[in-house]
């Protein structure tokens, strides 16, 4: 029986100053090389604080087309455009209500994507023909530096094959996309799940995809007179809301109460330390149910189970669907959806 615990690793903080400086110098060269590839119309996978992105120059339709090809992503699924400064809003969007600026400044840079009316310089391929564009300013230093050195906004969906598990390490990217031009390795991502996506319509803010920025936090900072809704607008295609997504290649089952036994060749993912029945492999995303840790380690735990040869099925504990738990359960249910016949409780 193999047990494993993912705890927060911070490569830089744990290194001696000399190794840390070497790491930074190495990163700068790597980022310059990656920026050169982006500027030349190539594809680069890079870390953000949420998950790894697969980036291309957002203003170059041929470069963006390579993202769809590499991911085998349907053309109806729009991409998020990553920026490094607020100046890009004026260039990439139109008719943005002035009163939402303080709201955006509250959460950006950070794991929030805002969908706004697009300007003419945003190619249709980026937005799948929609007249809106999703914009995010990542907080991750490597991502910011890459955008800055590339000199262009970077269109980047998660760096995985469409429908498969999202990547939270460079190794996860290499597993699914071994043939892209370059992978910028920035260690494990800290948030671990994709950004919260919102859009504005008149005085309404709509949550399109839950993330680490919770509905409560959004509501607290909305401009006066604005309300938050999670109702899905029919006019907005948001494939991030597809029922099946982010799936491991092995059957995944969600449980509330720990079963007393498991079939042979099962893997178990838990979010708090507890006594467990005999099982092939177990992973704790957190030792005490800390939802930030659960989110940070969720995809890594699923990747590890997917990659373990003698595991044939995966069991994962649910979390309470409140606060950050909403986003965690959203990813879990989508990951398990295609195995729903045996997983009817959550469908
Ligand atoms: P990914 O970057 O792989 O997490 O996917 C980005 C997701 O952002 C898409 O699947 C959509 O759900 C959402 N998105 C991006 N742009 C728009 C847009 N203009 N309107 C609505 N949703 C969008
Ligand atoms: Mg994705």
* CATH code, domain carrying 125: 3.90.870.10
Using only the alpha carbons of the chain, give its radius of gyration. 20
Does the CB atom of residue 165 touch ligand 1 within 6 A? no
The domain that holds 286 is classified in CATH as 3.40.50.11030
Q: Closest ligand 1 atom to the C-alpha of 130? A: 19
Q: Is residue 84 part of a domain?
A: yes
Does the CB atom of residue 138 touch ligand 1 within 6 A? no
Q: Which residues have a beta carbon within 5 Å of ligand 2, which is an ion?
A: 158
- The tens digit of pLDDT for each residue in 130-163 reads 999 999 999 999 999 999 999 999 999 999 999 9
* Residue 17 confidence (pLDDT) above 60: no
Q: Is residue 266 part of a domain?
A: yes
- The tens digit of pLDDT for each residue in 265-282 reads 999 999 999 999 999 999
Does the CB atom of residue 133 touch ligand 1 within 6 A? yes
- Which of 229, 260, 289 is at the close of a domain? 229
Ligand closest in space to the Cα of 201? 1
Q: Is residue 207 part of a domain?
A: yes
Q: Is residue 247 part of a domain?
A: no
Range of the domain at 107: 7-229
The answer to whether the pTM exceeds 0.85 is yes
For atom 2 of ligand 1, which residue has the closest CA?
A: 157
My answer on whether 210 and 264 are in the same domain is no
For atom 10 of ligand 1, which residue has the closest CA?
A: 240
| pLDDT for res 245 | 79
Q: Is residue 155 part of a domain?
A: yes
* Residue 30 confidence (pLDDT) above 90: yes
Does the CB atom of residue 117 touch ligand 1 within 6 A? no
Share of the chain above pLDDT 90, in %: 83
My answer on whether 161 and 287 are in the same domain is no
Q: Is residue 120 part of a domain?
A: yes
Q: In what order do the strands lie in the sheet with 2-5?
A: 2-5, 281-284, 266-270, 313-317, 252-255
My answer on whether 131 and 274 are in the same domain is no
| pLDDT for res 340 | 76
Q: Is residue 240 part of a domain?
A: no
Rounded to the nearest angstrom, the gap between the alpha carbon of residue 151 and the centroid of all alpha carbons in its chain is 23
Task: Name the residue with tokens 């009817």.
Answer: 344
My answer on whether 91 and 177 are in the same domain is yes
My answer on whether 217 and 257 are in the same domain is no
My answer on whether 305 and 186 are in the same domain is no
Does the CB atom of residue 115 touch ligand 1 within 6 A? yes
* Residue 264 confidence (pLDDT) above 60: yes
My answer on whether 161 and 291 are in the same domain is no
Q: Closest ligand 1 atom to the C-alpha of 156? A: 2
Give the total number of structural domains in the chain: 2
| pLDDT for res 26 | 61
For the ranges 19-23, 105-109, 245-249, 278-282, the lowest mean pLDDT is seen at 19-23
Task: Name the residue with tokens 């494939």.
Answer: 239
For the ranges 29-33, 126-130, 197-201, 233-237, the lowest mean pLDDT is seen at 233-237
Rounded to the nearest angstrom, the gap between the alpha carbon of residue 269 and the centroid of all alpha carbons in its chain is 20
Does the CB atom of residue 248 touch ligand 1 within 6 A? no
Q: Is residue 244 part of a domain?
A: no
Q: Closest ligand 1 atom to the C-alpha of 158? A: 3
Rounded-to-10 torsion of CA 243, 249, 250, 256: -30
Angstrom distance (rounded) from CA 264 to CA 281: 10
My answer on whether 206 and 256 are in the same domain is no
| pLDDT for res 25 | 62
My answer on whether 98 and 175 are in the same domain is yes
For atom 1 of ligand 1, which residue has the closest CA?
A: 157
Q: Which of 76, 112, 115 to mutate to test the pocket of ligand 1 (most atoms within 8 A of CB)?
A: 115
CB 169 within 8 A of CB 52: yes
Helix (H, G, I), strand (E, B) or coil at 255: strand
Average pLDDT over residues 55-81: 97
My answer on whether 53 and 146 are in the same domain is yes
Average pLDDT over residues 74-90: 96
My answer on whether 161 and 289 are in the same domain is no
Average pLDDT of the chain, as a whole number: 90
My answer on whether 19 and 74 are in the same domain is yes
């Amino acid at each position: 029986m193999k047990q494993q615990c993912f705890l927060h690793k911070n490569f830089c903080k744990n290194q001696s100053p000399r190794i840390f400086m070497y790491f930074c110098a190495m990163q700068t060269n790597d980022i310059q090389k990656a920026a050169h590839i982006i500027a030349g119309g190539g594809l680069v996978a890079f870390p953000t604080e949420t998950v790894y992105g697969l980036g291309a120059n957002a203003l170059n339709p041929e470069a963006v087309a390579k993202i769809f090809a590499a991911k085998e992503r349907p053309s109806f699924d729009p991409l998020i455009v990553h920026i490094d400064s607020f100046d890009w809003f004026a260039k990439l969007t139109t008719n943005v209500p002035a009163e939402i600026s303080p709201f955006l400044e509250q959460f950006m840079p950070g794991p929030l994507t805002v969908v706004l009316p697009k300007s003419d310089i945003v190619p249709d391929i980026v937005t799948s023909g929609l007249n809106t564009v999703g914009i995010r300013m990542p907080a991750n230093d490597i991502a910011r530096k890459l955008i800055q050195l590339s000199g262009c906004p970077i269109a980047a969906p998660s760096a995985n094959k469409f429908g498969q598990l999202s990547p939270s390490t460079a190794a996860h990217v290499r597993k699914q996309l071994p043939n892209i031009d370059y992978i910028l390795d920035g260690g494990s991502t800290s948030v671990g799940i994709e950004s919260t996506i919102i859009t504005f319509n008149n005085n309404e803010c709509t949550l399109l995809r839950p993330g680490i920025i919770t509905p409560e936090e959004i509501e607290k900072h909305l401009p006066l007179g604005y309300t938050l809704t999670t109702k899905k607008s029919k006019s907005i295609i948001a494939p991030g809301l597809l029922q099946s997504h982010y799936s491991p290649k092995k059957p995944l089952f969600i449980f509330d109460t720990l079963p007393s036994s498991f079939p042979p060749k099962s893997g178990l993912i838990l979010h708090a330390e507890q006594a467990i029945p005999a099982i092939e492999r177990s992973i704790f995303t957190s030792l005490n149910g800390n939802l930030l840790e659960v989110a940070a380690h969720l995809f890594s735990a699923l990747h590890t189970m997917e990659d373990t040869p003698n595991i044939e099925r995966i069991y994962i504990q649910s979390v309470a669907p409140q606060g950050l738990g909403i986003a965690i359960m959203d990813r879990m249910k989508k990951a398990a959806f295609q195995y729903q016949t045996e997983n009817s409780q959550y469908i």
